[in-house]
Amino acid sequence: MRAFIQVAILAAGVGKRMRSALPKVLHALGGRPLLAHVLATVRTLEPRSICVVYADDAVRKSFPDPDLKWALQNPPNGTGDALAQALRVLESDGVTLVLFGADPLASAATLGKVIDCARAGALSLLTIELDDPTGYGRIVRDERGKVVSIAEEKDASPGQRAIREINTGVMAAPTDAFRRWLAKIDNKNSSGEYYLTDVIALAVAEGAAVATTRAENVMETLGVNSKRDLAELERLYQRAQAGALLDAGVTLADPARIDVRGKLTCGSDVSIDVGCIFEGEVWLADNVVVGAHCVIRNVRVGGGTFVAPFSHIEDAIIGARCRIGPYARIRPGTLLGDEVHIGNFVEIKASAIGVRSKVNHLAYVGDATVGRDVNVGAGTITCNYDGANKHRTVIEDDVHIGSDTQLIAPVTVRQGATIGAGATISKEVPADQLTISQNKQITIPGWKRPRKG
């Protein structure tokens, strides 16, 4: 029987170099906290238990997930002490995989190889060679190539600092072995902390096997210790997202100028211009074109729709063959039918717009139900808020609304009605008739415009 897997995620680091009150593991990469990336990968491994070691309550409050166990490390006293705290709440058997909450991009495939070595009884390490290993613990090997220890940067000799193979921090071992080794480590080092890496020398002294797995690429091994690290990792992450989109057949005007902060799913022949940001869950159907500098969050867009530049769409469903923007804002709760036109400087909020209807210029439609083949003139607004409550406007099929009309909700405009420009509508508009609301134009003879003295 294969040994059970359990995971300890060390997330109690203070992160002084971040220069932020926000705990390091809660800083965002690709729109999600660093720790969220680690948890998402870990869950694909189907571990028996996941324990997060924390120091700041904000971390625990940010992840109320029922499958997590928590271990408090206060004060932070090194990575060895952090794992010891986790093992207090984890089971005593099986294999324990150790990860860091601010090292977000190790793949499940790579971690699986690390786990397999530990299941065979070894202390299993994930390593990589770097051109510049500054700041990392070095993998020290003997003349036969066997791992004998890890030399931390602060305590390494000049010869050890020249070693390019580094410890990523990821390791796994039989849980009972971890417990045995942790009981023997001390804090007699330059930091006065309990280093988890000290278990390597103890394993070697016992004659235990120490196995290494090379990471597939350097991005899997990168962690965040500063805002500079975070910014550099963000660019690497986004370039990887862009590469995946290109491989899937998406046309990107510039792969270096797109940000995917969530999950973006695209059909065939989708085209995305520069500077676009996709957040949450976004689904673009076949032949969708997204113009430059759009922000799209939690949206489904139907086939053949064109989103013109500088449009913002959030928590909405857009039908097929629509045209949105430029400079349109589609707010949460909006549903656009097929072939709808939403034009420049138009805002739609919590409204359903029927097939082939048009709201093309400088209009606000909020809390409304709009039927098919409706034309809403420039400057039209639904007055949906009375200062205390929101009210709904209903516009039935084939209605034409003249420019600069105010619809004071709750109000209904019946099918086929026409409303003249400049009207203020507060009562039901009957079907198939023209309704106007206009003041008589008057010219005042002899009136003089005031002038500055």
Tell me the three state secondary structure of residue 239. helix
Domain boundary among 221, 238, 267: 221
For residue 54, the model assigns a pLDDT of: 97
Over residues 327-345, the pLDDT tens digits come to: 999 999 999 999 999 999 9
pTM of the model: 0.90
3-class state of residue 212 by DSSP: strand
pLDDT tens for each residue of 217-260: 999 999 999 999 999 999 999 999 999 999 999 999 999 999 99
Per-residue pLDDT averaged across 302-318, rounded? 98
Q: Give the pLDDT confidence of 252-293 residue by residue, as tens digits.
A: 999 999 999 999 999 999 999 999 999 999 999 999 999 999
Structure tokens at 216: 């597939």
Q: Is residue 447 part of a domain?
A: no
Q: Do 120 and 252 belong together in one domain?
A: no
**pLDDT (tens digit per residue) in 148-204:** 888 888 888 888 999 999 989 999 999 999 999 999 999 888 788 899 989 998 999
In a domain, 453, yes or no: no
Amino acid 436: pLDDT: 93
Question: Which residues form the domain of 163?
Answer: 5-221
Are 111 and 246 in the same domain? no
Instruction: Based on the fold, state whether residues 29 and 98 are members of the same structural domain.
Output: yes
Task: Report pLDDT for 190.
Answer: 78
Residues 264 and 208 in one domain: no
- Give SS3 for 82: helix
Domain end: 162, 194, 221, which one? Answer: 221
In a domain, 443, yes or no: no
User: Residues 246, 105: one domain?
Assistant: no
The pLDDT, as a whole number, for residue 441 is 79
Whether residue 450 lies inside any domain: the answer is no
Pairing of strands 210-214, 165-174: unpaired
CATH classification of the domain holding 299: 2.160.10.10
Tell me if 440 is assigned to some domain: no
pLDDT score, position 1: 55
Q: How far is 275 from 401, CA to CA, in rounded Å?
A: 35
Mean pLDDT for 120-144 is: 91
Residues 147 and 244 in one domain: no
Query: Does 405 lie in the same domain as 346?
Result: yes
Instruction: Let me know: does 172 contact 98? Beta carbons within 8 Å.
Output: yes
Question: How would you class 92 by CB atoms within 10 Å of its CB: exposed for 0-12, middle for 13-18, buried for 19 or more?
Answer: exposed
- Inform me whether the pLDDT recorded for 431 exceeds 70: yes
Q: Has residue 215 been placed in a domain?
A: yes
Question: In DSSP terms, which residues pair with 361 in a beta bridge?
Answer: 344
Q: What confidence category does residue 412 fall into, taking pLDDT thresholds of 50, 70 and 90?
A: very high
The structural domain count of the chain equals 2
Q: Which residues pair with 138 in a beta bridge?
A: 151, 166
Q: Percent of the chain scored above 70 by pLDDT?
A: 100
**231 and 176, same domain (yes or no):** no
Mean of the per-residue pLDDT values of the chain: 95
Q: How far is CA 33 from CA 105, 261, 298, 386, in A?
A: 12, 11, 18, 39
152 and 94: one domain? yes
Question: Are 260 and 204 in the same domain?
Answer: no
Q: How many angstroms separate the CA atoms of 291 and 326, rounded?
A: 8
Domain annotation covers residue 277: yes
> Is residue 260 located within the same domain as residue 205?
no
Domain edge (last residue) among 170, 193, 221 = 221
Cβ pair 334, 319 in contact under 8 A: no
Per the annotation, the verdict on 391 as an active-site residue is no
Q: Residue 18: give its domain's CATH number.
A: 3.90.550.10
Q: Is residue 442 included in any domain, yes or no?
A: no
Check whether residue 19 and residue 131 sit in a common domain: yes
For Cα atoms 415, 361, 427, give the angle at the middle one, nearest 5 degrees.
35
Which residue of the set 312, 341, 361, 400 is catalytic? Answer: 361
Cβ 346 vs Cβ 329: under 8 Å = yes
